[in-house]
Structure 1
Amino acid sequence: MSPLSPTYTPQKSESLYSLAASVISLLKSTNSTLACAESLTAGLLMAALTSVPGASSVFRGGVVSYATPLKQHLLHVDAELIAKEGVIHADVAAQMAMGARNITVCDGVPTTWGIGTTGVAGPSEQDGKPVGMVYIGVASAEGAKTWGPFSFAGGRESVREATVLEALLRLRDELVARGTVGEVMNG
């Protein structure tokens, strides 16, 4: 593991469901909407969000862009970036998050937030990137932020579950940072 790849520490105190519920609650409290672009998580993030009753009022949808050409054609991830860096890259996660927002505009109303996940779930490395390397992007009208590379430990399912948890945590932090009332997370 390189010094640039922090090891993931699982959040033991919070369940996936309670984290997803707090994100949905925060989105509702700010009249915000959300869309996802998932690669290695292959729909797990969208499933976690939609497991919360009432999610349909804020969750618009998304795309599982497991295949590289879908990242380019559906989400408009830059082909030159992919050719130079591969799909496991911070800028790819950012562009996926922006793409999720752009493809889910409804009745001319933009989607407020987008999340993009890209990484290597395993069982073997991809494009010279090790199993467990993950990038997460969160986008809004102001632009995109990325986190990573994470170095999630374990097998495929552990890496994918850790990615979903981390993506929800990062989105929740962004929602709170934008001035959302803290008590919504507890209510």
Structure 2
Amino acid sequence: MNISTNSAVTEFCFEGRFLDFVIKDGYKLKGLLLGTSECEYYIKLAKHLRSAFDLRLAKGTWLQVVGTKQYNPKKDQVTLVAERVMAASSDMGIVAAQNQIKTKPAKTQTILVCQKSDCMKRGGKALCQALESELINSGLENSVTIKGTGCMKNCKSGPNLVMPDKTRYSKIQAAQVPALIDKHFSDKSQDKAKNMPENIHTLVKV
């Protein structure tokens, strides 16, 4: 008698608290840890979700995760892959959901940062950390987000990023971030643009 070794794929829907991100090689977002009433789950993120995630998601946030569950009988192992992640609407998530309905969320701007290995090796990880820190110091953490992207086709001049007004920068280092944020988000940005370090390489707008 032949024993089938085909993996069974089914759908799942979990609600629980966000515990942490799972990062590979120090910068590659792979998945998240979700704590439910039953146990703690490691859930991989589908590729289309990885670049869209805001890495500043607060631990303890109540989430609903929908995706596929695949069982591998050879390894006796279950793999969970998230296709959708959203704010949960039950229990502790109700208050937050109601507040979001009553209060119109502020419009956010996005800074795009290349996450490919060449840019990361040239200081991309430190750049992301500096951007996050400077946004907090400037009180912009709720109005400006940092989003990782695929290759920007300028690898030899990394790290590369694109500001909300579509201005592209190359060879940006962590020490240059305060001047960069000041230029693009200060109320007097046009006057302060003269103070930008000359060694920041600006590319054409896209």
TM-score by length of 2: 0.27
Higher relative contact order (CA 8 A, sep 6+): 1
Larger Rg: 2
Higher strand share: 2
